[in-house]
Chain A
Amino acid sequence: MATALDPQQRPNSYRTGPDEHGHFGNHGGRFVAETLMPNILELEAAYNQAKADPAFQAELDSWFKDYVGRPSPLYLAQRLTDHLGGARVYFKRDELNHTGAHKINNCVGQILLATRMGKKRIIAETGAGQHGVATATVAARFGLECVIYMGERDIERQQPNVFRMRLLGAEVRPVKSGSRTLKDAMNEALRDWVTNVRDTFYIIGSVAGPHPYPAMVRDFQSIIGTEARAQIQEKEGRLPDLLVAAVGGGSNAMGLFHPFLDDAEVGIVAVEAAGDGVETGRHAAAMTAGQPGVLHGMRSYLMQDNDGQIIEPHSISAGLDYPGIGPEHSWLKDVGRIEVAVATDAEALEAFAICSKLEGILPALEPCHALAEVTKRAPAMRSDQIIIMNLCGRGDKDIYTVAEHMGVRL
């Protein structure tokens, strides 16, 4: 069996993982079909080489700056802070990125790698459509063929993003299997990859999947935390007391958290989607209510029944509607470095309203889950304490969902 990391045993650094086999403690690994293994190993080698190449880093930085629009601001949400009456709340504003979410950070990194590897065809899975739009965007810019897998149910509830992807020249393939949502889109993307493995690059959209994806996507998203760390030092002269981010697969959260993991004074909370409430069983809270399992190439906390069959997740937010979670989060939870909280659909909608009215920002429903947690924590903190929340996406894509819940017809 894989070597267990004693939860009591604190590592010297939380930032050195994964090991050479892609394990974060008991989580991670490479649980894929043999057809994919040569590709996975090739990808790992190519990524390691790129990571060590200053020219690749310089190229990435330049795309971040001129195409994505980085650095994203660190913004003091003063009216929200006054309203909550406690800690000072900062938003890391990745919703201002090109395409409207943090997903583009990872897509730029992976497409640069794909072109270095000479791949001609790009595939991706998408739930909310944000990762699909970001992938279609970079594929258009780099002139590569692009196929996006999306569950039929998600296609229905995220029509604007489906149209965006088509405008960008991508083919959106509806997935009719299983629950017809994100997990099934990922199954179908893996099936495509197995079939077209030689010329195809699979851009996974979160810190999930087989090694090296969780580490690679984390590295590309870590620009969020790296910037935030420098920005808060500049604005406040010190590190924050608390970081809060929503987790679907976990990429926006890991991007913010990772550069702070070894700062013991910084508390960290990952917020899972509780859907109708964890107690109802209709949720997407893998770390809160799941057990370790193996899906999509990794071991991690997973929503499953006693027979190891995957349970359909539920969340108002298509981007959080996933039964698993990236393996590094599972490990950080096991060793006690992060706390895991939950927010229900109703709490996320309430946070959506507060943020829109007080700050003039329509947030995506995903970070609304993080904001719901902020509204619970900030009032109990002192006014000289600091929270940084990852506002990782804008809400334009969600206005139809929100309208439906308000009983408004658009």
Chain B
Amino acid sequence: MRIALRNCGLIDPEKIEEYIAEDGYFALGKCLTEFTREETIKEIKDSGLRGRGGGGFPTGLKWEITKNVEAGQKYVVCNADEGDPGAFMDRSILEGDPHSVIEAMAICGYCIGADTGLVYIRAEYPLAIERLKIAIKQAREFGLLGEGILGTNFNFDIELRYGAGAFVCGEETALIHSMEGLRGEPTVKPPFPSVSGYMGKPTNVNNVETFASVPVIINKGANWFNKIGTEKSKGTKVFALAGKINKVGLVEVPMGTTLREVIYDIGGGIVNGKEFKSVQTGGPSGGCLTKDFLDTPIDYDNLIAAGSMMGSGGMIVLDEDDCMVSIAKFYLEFTLEESCGKCTPCRIGNKRLFEILTKITEGNGVLEDIERLRVLSNVIKDTSLCGLGQSSPNPVLSTINNFEEEYRAHVVDGKCPAGQCKSLLRYDIVEDLCTGCTLCFRNCPVGAITGERREPHLIDQSLCIKCGVCFEKCKFNAITLI
């Protein structure tokens, strides 16, 4: 079911006429000529649309709050920072249908009383930037941006602002500071941007996908939209499917679709017919779900209850060969890199989490480390300033909660069940099977294997770098991997 992606792949994004032919700018026209600002906001509220940028805040309510703040100047901001590793839905929308976002920003401007829109987009998206620029230019030429739009007294124009590609700059207060030319660091909310945002003025920040859904809601009506989805999550969500899945790509499904439908029916199942192990949703702020959750309907609340979150819609599928401790470590490494460093729990706490995880994957972990991870994670969650820090331990907590036995295998048995943690692997030669053919001896890159021709060989564990070459080369299955 395609709402946000309705035109992607179907129209030429560099031709405004094609967008108009698909009822483009008619929602704006309808609002400007038939609906008052209040009626438009009511329509969005009734539709049940919630922010697609991660938080899931009701969009209509946000517009209403921003509208009700008295100020001469207000701003509409589109958050196109898209910093989650593995997420690319916003990029696709901007590359495939930029006018839908422009139209929705104008509608938002009309509702809240703003004449200026700003798109904050990462400089690493050159094609999306190019298409947006073309689209804005065309909209101006057609008189759909600028002064006196569609013969009314509504004025609205849009400018671009470029981000340097920092994850934390997707957080709305950091984003605003970055646009103001300040350091991209979050500040305490309240005040919320709706009250005091860009240049201290009321600023309505929404995500690309949120905006892209708006024109359809206006054209089709709130009652059409709110019949799709679950009780508390209406409409559709775009997911970026990646990882060990056959059909990597973008899918847009009604809220409430199960993970199983997304992964197996749409995504074509796991690569090489391997066993599904887990799915990571919500990127660095989310968590890893087990196969027990395959039949859980996906919506904001169910994912949170399951210990993960919707985030921006990244979905990374993991199979039996993925080590959950290493996955947690991967996300932590990302967070560590992206933390702005402003507050101690996030800056130092995550570093300590990372060190403990490294210790475990290197085979030096002890049982107490698991509890230590839990306690520290909760401290970081409770005491960090912004959403980045508050959610950064989620990958650790969810993997411990859902895959504790795997952590235990590392620290108690000194084994990595997925065979990923090299330090925990051990290659050995079975004396009885070894024919002394010298093949492994000749192939070992570090000279860790010794032995006479036709005599059983031996691996010196202190030299072995666990490259696995001998294991692959041996024709007699004489090398075992424990």
The judgment on whether A and B are partners is no
